[in-house]
Copies of this chain bind each other. A is one copy, B any other.
């Protein structure tokens, strides 16, 4: 999807993303891109199989090379987490260890809360095929498990990082989509309904008279449900005016069209 704004303030920081013995440099690159999508910038690699730095990783990072350039390489998971105060391990297993098991949402909220009080947090992601080993998981304070289709649960490494980053962004950044535009004030809306009613009256549409209140209620309901903005109300008044003005010679029209066919039970 498009929409990158390179002039916008970059969001940086967040938990350290630790890839334990990643096998494919492509996945490291894709993970870096996923990280930067959600403002995560600190990557650590434990014994990457194909060495480091790696051109294939750069190629897959789609511009997130700054994350790769800053990535640190460690020989063991113990070294990679040595300076961290709180570490989570992503795994679908490890249930035999007595640790809190969190979803990505609660895990990132926990990290955000700890980081706001000055703690340094990290999250471990395992090898592509086999995941984290029990020894790695044992070093973590909590386990992160993803909600996933049990019949097709295999998440790609970069996708697992992406979902973590997405939840981190939601936990850490005060984000909300733009809301629905402001609806028109009631007086403007009523101005339109009144205008429409006068024109419909003139056209002979609102007959017989005893049906008129119900018909207008039904018409009002349709437009009210649309949450019209002030601009849209003005547009609709223009539409009504245009239709009314170009109505072919009103009297002849009324004679030929003596009113709408109204369903006896439902009105309009």
Contacts and interface: CB of A to CB of B under 8 A. Distances in A.
Nearest to A63: B152
11 contacts: A2-B153, A4-B151, A5-B150, A34-B159, A36-B149, A63-B154, A95-B178, A98-B229, A98-B232, A147-B166, A166-B166
Nearest to A163: B166
A176 B38 contact: no
Contact of A92 (B1, B39, B92, B159): B1
A176 B95 contact: no
A230 to B, nearest CB: 11
A116 interface: no
Interface in A102-148: 102-103, 106, 126, 129-131, 143, 145-148
A175 B103 CA distance: 9
A44 B208 CA distance: 49
A171 B99 CA distance: 26
A10 interface: yes
Contact of A153 (B5, B143, B159, B177): B5
A-B pairs, top 10 by smallest CB distance, nearest first, are A3-B92, A8-B150, A10-B151, A147-B175, A4-B153, A36-B152, A39-B149, A101-B177, A3-B153, A101-B178
A84 interface: no
A147 B163 contact: no
Q: Among A103, A148, A153, A179, find the residue whose CB has the most chain B CB atoms closer than 10 A.
A: A148
A155 B131 CA distance: 25
Interface string A1-37: 1111110111100000000000000000000011011
Given A145-B178, A149-B10, A166-B163, A2 B154 contact: yes
B153 A1 contact: yes
A173 interface: yes
Given A98-B181, A101-B178, A179-B101, A1 B91 contact: yes
Nearest to A158: B159
B129 A2 contact: yes
A10 B160 CA distance: 20
